[in-house]
Amino acid sequence: MVNVVTSLSRITIMAFVMLFAIVDIVFLFDRKIKEGLQSILLTIQAVMIVLFMINGAVVLYLNTQDFLIILLTAGELLLYLFISIVLNKICIPTSKPLINNVLMLLSFSFITLERLKIASACRQFAFAIISLIIASAVVYFLENFGRVTEYATVYLVIGLLLLLIVSVAGSVQYGAKLSLSFGNISVQPSEFVKITFLFFMGAVIAKYRDVKGFLIASVGAALHVLILVISKDLGTGLIFLVAYVFLIFISYKNYIVLFTELGVAAVGATLAYNMFPHIQTRFIAWSDPLSVIDDQGYQISQSLFAIGTGGWIGSGLCNGMPTKIPVVTKDFIFAAISEEMGAIVGLCLIVIVLCTFFMIFNAAYDLNNSFYMLVINGIGIIFATQALLNIGGVIKFIPSTGVTLPFVSYGGSSLLSMFICIFIIEAAEDFSISIEKENRKREIRTRKKENRTRYEKTRRYE
């Protein structure tokens, strides 16, 4: 009985995810969908998410007989409801399909974590609740903070300080310094520095639209990357680098600068390759993992065993052995999804990630405020780069870099940071308005001042 349900659920889950992805593609190709049709499509997606969650929970419950799974799933669905209610309360959401996509990615995360390690799933659920609260607070703050563009130095200093602290006091994981430990909790500051970094870039470029801005942005970005390289957190360093190069390209539209930067990056990459043995190790593990399977190639080989054996249809939840893969809940969660839900679902997940990226770019598209436009484009670039590095590393497309898959991988810092990013995108329209208000206020103030001086001048003149 359990086997039949598990086996058939592979097909139903595939259908739910596939339908969701197809609607995503429809959204992409027709940005000017009529409101009526859009709400129908959004409802279809929402139904797919619920069905996906329930189907996953039923299979997991039948296999493990753990009632906690039912409770968690109920809680998670309730959380989804809250997320959409809260977003609609605190702002006029820029993109509703984007919210659906985030919820879908979260569903992948919850189901897979419940399957892999129920304790992690519980923690991730708690992280999600905390993230919702903090992200809402951030949105509330930014809505009333029109002078957000004036603190470039502050963003830079906070970012660099956080990275420096990790570099000095961080604990070493897999050859890189990534996190700070406070007793039971460990925090990955680099996840939050992504946001301050984008704020810094946006503020500098929006303020000085000339060479000066370019130089300040370049020096700031170089400092970030440098500290990350010293901490050996090369995956994150690469993400910052990509965000910097593309943001400069978007703002200055200069191909010569673009290619020079890419050239410098290539030289830097070669240097890094020669300097760090642990990069070379990862290249070996990537080029021929089976030859070093007892050693550096173990993880990627296990990942490929999982993906290959799972095949197109997958083994069915609880029927595979994804726990054989080291760090499966974080960096290699895609392999677990591909093994048990099948590569077709894996492909759909890639499509959903790509559509999410497009939706983020589209959200920036209609903005009048150049600061938030740059920040949101930056979020999109970071999101896509991170997904590319993560999934590419899991399927042996590129050497593994040890970055997480946004919203899907286990980890509180990453989840919170991504939540804040998505909330910023959804509320960006409102933020722009608050900046405009602030500017207008100031204009009025200066005009008043001018008027007064003129008035005083005339008085004195008289």
Which residues of this protein are in contact with another protein, per CB under 8 A? Answer: 1, 3-4, 7, 246, 249-250, 253, 290, 293, 301, 304-309, 311-312, 315, 319-321, 324, 343, 346-347, 350, 354, 357-358, 361, 364-365, 368, 373, 377, 381, 384, 388, 391-392, 395-397
Nearer to another protein, 117 or 324 (CB): 324
Q: What is the DSSP letter of 367?
A: -
Residues 206, 25: Cα–Cα separation, whole Å: 33
CA distances for 133 relative to 90, 236, 260, angstroms: 12, 26, 42
In whole angstroms, the minimum distance from the beta carbon of 328 to another protein comes to 14
Whose Cβ is closer to another protein: residue 127's or residue 334's? Answer: 334
CA distances (Å), origin 230, targets 49, 364, 406, 437: 42, 33, 24, 42
Taking alpha carbons only, the member of 132, 190, 91 closest to residue 425 is: 91
Rounded to an integer, what distance in angstroms lies between the CA atom of residue 412 and that of residue 120?
10
Query: Hey, which residues does 185 pair with through a beta bridge?
Result: 182
- How open is the CA angle 29-109-15, to the nearest 5 degrees? 50
Tell me how far, at minimum, the Cβ of 202 lies from another protein, in Å: 14
Tokens of 439: 């500017």
- Residue 186 pairs in a beta bridge with 181
Which one, 4 or 256, has the nearer CB to another protein? 4
Residue among 166 and 242 whose Cβ is closer to another protein: 242
Closest distance of CB 14 from another protein, Å: 15
Q: Which two tokens stand for residue 28?
A: 């992409």
Rounded least distance, CB 170 to another protein, Å: 30
In the bound state with another protein, the residue whose beta carbon lies nearer, of 283 and 365, is: 365
Query: Could you tell me the smallest distance in angstroms from the CB atom of residue 34 to another protein?
Result: 24
Q: Which is nearer to another protein, 108 or 127 (by Cβ)?
A: 108
Our CB check for another protein shows the closer of 179 and 362 to be 362
**Integer Cα distance of 296 and 260 in angstroms:** 34
- Closest to another protein by CB, 21 or 166: 21
138: Cα separation from own chain's centroid = 17
Minimum CB distance to another protein, residue 363 (Å)? 12
DSSP letters for 116-127 = H-HHHHHHHHHH
Q: Quick one: 60 or 139, whose CB is closer to another protein?
A: 60
Q: Three-state DSSP class for 177? A: strand
Cβ-based neighbour number of residue 394 at 10 Å: 28
Q: Among 246, 283, 218, 263, which residue's Cα sits nearest to residue 383?
A: 246
Local structure of 327: helix, strand or coil: coil
State the minimum distance, in angstroms, from the CB of residue 455 to another protein.
25
Least Å distance between CB 213 and another protein?
A: 16
Nearest approach, Cβ of residue 361 and another protein (Å)? 6
Angle between helices 96-116 and 333-341 (to 10 degrees): 80
